[in-house]
């Protein structure tokens, strides 16, 4: 075997070794993007949301979710309504566009960030949309 044949043989072996690893790495990334928890999930009907301006769904796959309309343009926000201070359920105050906790007065902005203590951690938020009669979160 001369030097040229040896290098070709080593190169082909290296490609044969690395190609399956590269394919596996790409495949696992695609699987992560399509994980079930990333799919839109129905948590209620738009009729209930329209009637009350809010929708509280207690038994969703991600736990309790509160969806509120934040403006006349029907902007929607979805949060986990459990206050991060001690777990009371926050209420939406449309006049001030804030979530307010009735237990100790913590306040959260429309994007869940803390605006008034004693809570120090934000509310968890979800993407939300209406599809036909369904309210969906992600
Ligand atoms: S439980 Fe909400 S402020 Fe204490």
Note whether 59 and 115 are same-domain residues. yes
Neighbouring residues of 23: CB distance < 8 A, sequence distance ≥ 6? none
83 pocket-lining for ligand 1 (C-beta < 6 Å): yes
Note whether 60 and 24 are same-domain residues. no
Instruction: Examine the pLDDT at 33 and tell me if it is beyond 60.
Output: no
Note whether 126 and 106 are same-domain residues. yes
Note whether 30 and 47 are same-domain residues. no
Share of the chain above pLDDT 70, in %: 71
Q: What is the DSSP string of 4-23?
A: HHHHHHHHHHHHHHHHHHHH
Distances from the Cα of 130 to the Cα of 49, 78, 84, 87, 135, angstroms: 10, 12, 27, 28, 5
Question: Which residue is listed with tokens 């359920």?
Answer: 89
Note whether 87 and 112 are same-domain residues. yes
Distance 109 CA to ligand 1 centre (A): 15
Note whether 54 and 96 are same-domain residues. yes
Residue 71: which CATH number?
2.102.10.10
Distance 59 CA to ligand 1 centre (A): 22
Q: Total domain count for the chain?
A: 2
Q: Among 79, 80, 84, 85, which is best to mutate for testing ligand 1, by the most ligand atoms less than 8 A from CB?
A: 85
Q: Among 3-12, 38-47, 73-82, 92-101, which is the least confidently predicted range? A: 3-12
Instruction: Examine the pLDDT at 26 and tell me if it is beyond 60.
Output: no
Domain boundaries, position 12: 3-34
Q: What mean pLDDT do residues 15-41 have?
A: 54
Stated pTM of the model = 0.70
């Amino acid at each position: 075997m001369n030097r040229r044949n040896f290098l070709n043989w080593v190169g082909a072996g290296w490609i044969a070794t690395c190609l399956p690893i590269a394919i596996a790495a790409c495949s696992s990334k695609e699987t992560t993007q399509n994980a079930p928890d990333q799919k839109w999930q129905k948590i209620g009907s738009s009729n209930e949301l329209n009637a009350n301006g809010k929708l509280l769904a207690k038994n969703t796959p991600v736990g309790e979710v509160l969806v509120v309309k934040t403006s006349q343009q029907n902007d929607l926000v979805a949060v986990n309504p459990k206050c991060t201070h001690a777990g009371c359920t926050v209420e939406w105050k449309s006049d001030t566009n804030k979530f307010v906790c009735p237990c100790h007065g913590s306040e959260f902005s429309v994007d869940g960030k803390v605006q008034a203590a004693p809570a120090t951690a934000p509310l968890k938020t979800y993407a939300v949309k209406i599809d036909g009669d369904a309210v969906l979160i992600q």
